[in-house]
Amino acid sequence: MKYNEIKEHDFVLDYDSGFSGEYFDISEPATGKIFGTVRGASIEETKKIISSCKHAQPDWAATTFEYRAAILRRFAQALGHHCEMIHAWNARECGSIRPKSEWELQACIEQAYTAANLAQAPNGELYPSTMPGRKNMRVKVPVGLVGVIAPWNFPLLLSLRAILPALALGNTVVLKPDPQSFFTGGVIISELMAEAGLPENVLRLIPGGAEPGQTIVEHPDTGMIAFTGSTAVGRAIAQQCAGTFKKTSLELGGNNAFIVMADADIESASSCAAWGSFLHQGQICMQSGRHIVHESIADKYVEALAARANQLVTGNPFTEQCHLGPLINAQQAEKVRTLIEESVAMGAEIVTGGTIDTQLVSPTVLKNVSSDMPVFQQEIFGPVAPVVTFKTEQEAIALANDTTLGLSASIHTADSARGEYLATFINAGMVHINDQTVNNEYHIPFGGLKDSGDSGRIGGPVNLDEFTHTKWISVMNQGVQYPF
């Protein structure tokens, strides 16, 4: 590794990015400690990297599928070998508790093996022809150079879910992680790929913030942008790429409905709700953000959910056992505070939680919430569970759809068939019956509707289409004589 190993409870950061752009700090959200400062890439340096990766792509695509698959398998093994280092960085840089980091790492390992198998998937189809002797082929070809712009909340997973299939299918990649997770979502990936034998310029790491990210989006040599992040930034990327018809894969925000019907098992529903709302401090796009509960059981549900919230401990996930770590930065903690305070001023009531100590936010349950309150209307990205009640199924569906976002949802009911029927009316890309909203299985297509993305899907077999273009190739054994 180009940076020092972790010793006991201290990081000594020694990393030279080799770039000359703006500086950014590598910090620890739980303590505010600055580990070191890294220089981002300038616009010109970013352009040079893009050109180098574009130049390397034809040779990479020409390698055998066995060669590409072997590298991805070695990368999976390297992830497992360096697990302790990865968990430590995920805790200190991103505020991840150990179980969350362990799940994230295992999902990445499994995705690496899945992508290795993807390399040998069929890459075309034959079609009949109305012309005697003509062979019609629809073939999949690499997009070329894929720009991956990844977030800080699940930085390893949300970088690799695009990088791995892109590489398997013959693309090269430039990766720009969020500066707040530069090591977990960037350096570790880059260096372990090199350790696995990935050739030079097939994957390049570009550090920095908005400036190099915008260069990646605008550059004519990037054939596709895979972005995970906010709807506002995703919309800007979509508008920019539309000007040149550049391919996009956009997974954006969510304000996800958690519907609890009158016949639901309250203990099960409250367990799913606590997991969906409080996992990783609620900093997940699939967070159970709006609890829509039948009025006949609302009091019991709120009591059960609050009891679970009261059992959860906040703290520094690197130095102590806790259920919730810190929010990623002070601005996000202040945003959560404002959403709570403004909603309380409008009539919401704090059942439990609501305390904020620097970037540690206690798991919070709110009742007497109405659909016009900020905690209902906005994506919270913090450990807050607002509860609103309904009387009829139609009202529940209307409340669930009362958002511009459409990523994930769940419905709890003793009648699973009824839940499955109601799911067809929820305007979300993923709906889970008697489960929580934060579901992600690497082999199942993942994505949202409305302002939660571009309606594309990523994961499993759909990666064959997501990271390729298709073309029609027809062949005649000899030339055809036409009327003129």
Residues 6+ apart with CB under 8 A from 87: 96, 98, 101, 102, 105
User: 7-16, 62-71, 213-222, 253-262 — which is least confidently predicted?
Assistant: 7-16
Confidence (pLDDT) at 290: 98
Do the beta carbons of residue 151 and residue 227 sit within 8 Å? no
Confidence (pLDDT) at 16: 84
Taking only the tens place, the pLDDT of each residue in 374-413 is: 999 999 999 999 999 999 999 999 999 999 999 999 999 9
Using alpha carbons, select from 349, 356, 392, 406 the residue that is nearest to residue 373: 349
Confidence (pLDDT) at 6: 45
Confidence (pLDDT) at 8: 40
Catalytic residue positions, numbered: 251, 285
Nearest 5 degrees, angle CA 150-CA 152-CA 155? 65
Residue 11 has pLDDT above 70, yes or no: no
pLDDT > 90 fraction of the chain, expressed in percent and rounded = 93
Confidence (pLDDT) at 12: 58
**Residue that the structure tokens 């981002």 belong to:** 40
Residues 6+ apart with CB under 8 A from 482: none
User: 31-35, 65-69, 151-155, 262-266 — which is least confidently predicted?
Assistant: 31-35
Percent helix, strand and coil across the chain, each rounded to 5?
40, 20, 40
Residue 10 has which token pair?
Answer: 């201290």
Residue 294 Cα distances to 302, 415, 443, angstroms: 11, 15, 34
Residue 299 Cα distances to 258, 366, 456, 468, angstroms: 16, 12, 39, 51
Instruction: Count other C-beta atoms under 10 Å from residue 234's C-beta.
Output: 23
pLDDT > 70 fraction of the chain, expressed in percent and rounded = 97
CATH code, 23-252+453-471:
3.40.605.10
What gap in Å lies between CA 451 and CA 250, rounded to an integer? Answer: 10
Query: 109: part of which helix (H) or strand (E)?
Result: helix 98-118
Confidence (pLDDT) at 35: 87
For CA atoms 332, 15, 148, 216, the dihedral sign is positive
Taking only the tens place, the pLDDT of each residue in 238-285 is: 999 999 999 999 999 999 999 999 999 999 999 999 999 999 999 999
**Residue that the structure tokens 């980091």 belong to:** 101
Confidence (pLDDT) at 15: 82
pLDDT tier at 480, thresholds 50, 70, 90:
confident
Tally of residues, the chain: 484
Residue 367 has pLDDT above 80, yes or no: yes
Strand 449-450 relative to strand 349-352, pairing: unpaired
Do the beta carbons of residue 405 and residue 448 sit within 8 Å? yes
Instruction: Determine the average pLDDT of the residues in 100-118.
Output: 96
Mean pLDDT score of the chain: 95
Instruction: Determine the average pLDDT of the residues in 146-156.
Output: 97
Using alpha carbons, select from 115, 121, 245, 104 the residue that is nearest to residue 181: 104
pLDDT tier at 88, thresholds 50, 70, 90:
very high
pLDDT tier at 4, thresholds 50, 70, 90:
very low
Nearest 5 degrees, angle CA 179-CA 182-CA 187? 150
Query: What's the pTM value of the predicted model, to 2 decimals?
Result: 0.95
Strand 364-367 relative to strand 360-361, pairing: unpaired
Taking only the tens place, the pLDDT of each residue in 314-332 is: 999 999 999 999 999 999 9
CATH code, 256-433:
3.40.309.10
Taking only the tens place, the pLDDT of each residue in 159-186 is: 999 999 999 999 999 999 999 999 999 9
Task: Report the chain's C-alpha Rg in angstroms.
Answer: 24
**Residue that the structure tokens 């080799």 belong to:** 18
What are phi and psi for residue 430, nearest 5 degrees?
A: -145, 130
- Within 175-289, residue ranges assigned H as helices are 188-195, 210-218, 231-242, 266-278
Question: HSE on the CB side for 129, CA within 13 Å?
Answer: 15
Confidence (pLDDT) at 36: 87
Indicate the domain borders of the chain: 23-252+453-471, 256-433
Instruction: Give the residue with greater pLDDT, 8 vs 139.
Output: 139
CA 451 to chain CA mean position, Å: 15
What gap in Å lies between CA 292 and CA 411, rounded to an integer? Answer: 9
